[in-house]
Structure 1
């Protein structure tokens, strides 16, 4: 007779623990809370810093439990009848709440092999209806007595862009309405009771200690190897990683990814005396003395950390973060013009648009030598004490920014490989094109533009307002890269 409670297959757990060292407790806890015949939970929270194995372990555990040949338990009774399906949704790939709901429905439909097309999903109510439809349709097509479960993983949900404050509690409430559903939230640092539900199990993924890091990194095979053999290579590599941690990564390496990148980066230079035949692998102290300059110079450490860290801007000095002149060479021509137009729309009052951007007014200003200031009355220029470019940016609507974009586009440099006529034709063809809106959405995703309004406001709404997020120096550099002088269009 089959029992109500069975632990997951021990062979499967041992294989996973050997694959992910130093994470035995997390693997066994997660497998028990997901497995159908163990202790399945409605909601599970996995939390920990970056590069601690949360996402990788979750995917592997769900993948093993979804296989029939490994979905056994201690007693192996009726285990082949269990059916676990899962869907992983990455919040980093979703540009908004509606996109998150669409991705969730699409991932679930793919996971359960839904034969029909799914409908639109624009809010939480439609998400509940669509998920209920998919789960009920899957249960109705199954055999009687077969136990099924669906797991939805929201990876990085605490960093979801434009998320309403009720998003996480609402997602946690889905399991109360939809049967046989498990929701897994992968976050960095959860707030107390952030799901507004009591009794939600939390599994912590702590940062790796030095012995754990050395144990994991020692499984990596460095290149090139030491000529003396595999055993000597492993011994030198282990002691070398310990020295790297004590001298460099202990204070600046935040995770295992940056630590491994630094070790692999410096390894060829460290064993160069061995490859040249000057030294032997032992004693190891001679290698340290010969490479003491390598451990004293931390300039080789910064590129590895910046290229491998998930949020590399936090590792770059503040003076380098403020220098964003590289935007002029990384953004396309149209995106740079949109960025300049956004800056002008943020810092120019709407009443000055007819003065600066109408063709007749522009020709008149050029004819007089750029002097709308000549027509001012005495005393008006002295009333303003702070330059407008030093004031904070103001919000603007999308239509006004696009009008400025087409006005300054005719005065900008031609597109690469095009003349002035083809440039005007190109601007006319862009009128109403989705490429412009896509470029605006890209600038918003890069945090160069900030979308104003409430969290539930539609991105495609015409009344949506934006605000520029760059300063005067960056705007002037970007404008000059496309042949526009911001000073000619900026109000005093």
Structure 2
């Protein structure tokens, strides 16, 4: 496939080395080279490269810049928290620290352009590569339009390459701007993921064995995860478990069916940790060892050592209180100025504390959020992050959704953890849950 990177302006050996590092991305690399042209030619002022996460955008750019030895400045819009830092990094990459020090304390775009134009013109195209470019939408209104036509402003052979996970239509300012050339990086197909992941084979085992392991991994995860970095992480995390029967001498490399039967249940359990990162790789391995030793722990929700985000812990506490406390007691527990409530009115006659024996009861989403905002420390705005963490708790089987998807009213949930589990979670956030449980008054 190295022929796809043929270009009259670049050395063939360099192009061949670059192609070897770009499996399944030779077509996109070839298109990018066509847009860039020969080194001494003026390139198009700005190029916008977009595609989903882990689709090879940054990798292709970095390999081409490094192997072809092109003058470039690679910036992360996450790290460049100010315009001054962005201008400084560009000048330092192209002209050195002495030129970057000429910028005033709070430089404007005019200062940057003035200092740039005072330097010697480029002998070949200079490239400014900006990763996570979607953050530029939150910068000064004139920054993005200026970067798109920077070549015209500085009167030099410079091209700005923007890398983003979202489409260009969400960038375009209302006032209009110079339109960059668009280049799309599609997601990797299953065959391409198989080819790329198979290159990471363990030196102690044959390429055929690791290729089979990758096919098993993709057979389990491909329907829920297409992210190359996530799949590579999962492949490295679970390969030792796959090789256990081989290390113990129970099977041979050719016994693929036995190897598949041994690893498939383990991979299905690992599906609960995809993207969420509530547990680290080390925690996941420790939990699997604990399960093998005791044989009593089943499923991720049974582990008391799961590390949850801060607000997820309070959401789980609120869910437990909503499941085991009658709804009529919420005012008594969570309303500060509820007035005096006599115990005779609060407790029904001959009522027995059997909520924990009867099991968790379903509760609506609005009640969960009301309790959550009452028990959490500090003011928390209702954001999409809170709702996504509720979905994560359902995925982790710590919450169970009991209402149907086609139900028009608010969804209902039940808490699926034990009293011991929620007490352990409460201790980590210094919350005394026993004071809020109706059964233990």
Answer yes or no: same fold by TM over 0.5: yes
Give the Å deviation of 1:112. 2.0
Q: Structure 1: how far apart are the matches of 2:200 and 2:103?
A: 46
- Structure 1 position 269 matched with structure 2 position 241: yes
> 1:77 corresponds to which residue?
none
In structure 2, the CA distance between the partners of 1:218 and 1:394, relative to structure 1 (3 Å rule), is closer
> 1:137 corresponds to which residue?
119
Unaligned runs of 5+ in 1: 67-83, 140-145, 227-232, 310-315, 327-370, 374-385, 396-445, 448-476, 483-492
Written as runs of structure 1 = structure 2, the 5 A alignment for 1:38-437 is: 40-66=43-69, 84-95=70-81, 99-113=82-96, 115-116=98-99, 117-120=101-104, 122=106, 126-139=108-121, 147-160=123-136, 162-178=138-154, 179-192=156-169, 194=172, 196-197=176-177, 200-222=180-202, 225-226=204-205, 233-247=206-220, 249-298=221-270, 301-302=273-274, 323-324=311-312
SS in structure 2 opposite 1:17?
A: helix
Could you list the per-position Cα deviations for residues 326-359 of structure 1 after superposition, in whole angstroms to 9, with x for gaps in the alignment?
Answer: 9xxxxxxxxxxxxxxxxxxxxxxxxxxxxxxxxx
Q: Structure 2: how far apart are the matches of 1:134 and 1:9?
A: 30
Give the Å deviation of 1:198. 5.8
Find 2:25's aligned residue among 19, 23, 26: 23
Q: Structure 2: how far apart are the matches of 1:217 and 1:185?
A: 27
Give the Å deviation of 1:16. 0.8
1:261 and 1:305 in contact (8 A); partners too: no
1:91 and 1:100 in contact (8 A); partners too: no
> 2:14 corresponds to which residue?
12
1:48 and 1:188 in contact (8 A); partners too: yes
Give the Å deviation of 1:251. 2.5
Give the Å deviation of 1:291. 3.2
2:130 and 2:163 in contact (8 A); partners too: yes
Give the Å deviation of 1:176. 1.9
In structure 2, the CA distance between the partners of 1:235 and 1:198, relative to structure 1 (3 Å rule), is same
In structure 2, the CA distance between the partners of 1:121 and 1:10, relative to structure 1 (3 Å rule), is farther
Q: TM-score by structure 1 length? A: 0.52
1:262 and 1:301 in contact (8 A); partners too: no
Q: Structure 1: how far apart are the matches of 2:58 and 2:248?
A: 42
Give the Å deviation of 1:135. 3.9
SS in structure 2 opposite 1:21?
A: coil
Q: Structure 1: how far apart are the matches of 2:311 and 2:182?
A: 41
Q: Structure 2: how far apart are the matches of 1:306 and 1:257?
A: 17
Written as runs of structure 1 = structure 2, the 5 A alignment for 1:413-492 is: none
Q: Structure 2: how far apart are the matches of 1:292 and 1:394?
A: 41
Unaligned runs of 5+ in 2: 1-6, 282-299, 302-307, 315-336, 340-369, 387-425, 432-441
Q: TM-score by structure 2 length? A: 0.57
Q: May I ask how many residue pairs the two structures share in their alignment?
A: 300
Could you list the per-position Cα deviations for residues 34-84 of structure 1 after superposition, in whole angstroms to 9, with x for gaps in the alignment?
Answer: 343456111111111111221222122223333xxxxxxxxxxxxxxxxx5
> 2:35 corresponds to which residue?
33
1:128 and 1:174 in contact (8 A); partners too: no
In structure 2, the CA distance between the partners of 1:245 and 1:239, relative to structure 1 (3 Å rule), is same
2:17 and 2:67 in contact (8 A); partners too: no
Give the Å deviation of 1:278. 0.8
1:106 and 1:118 in contact (8 A); partners too: no
Q: Structure 2: how far apart are the matches of 1:234 and 1:289?
A: 20
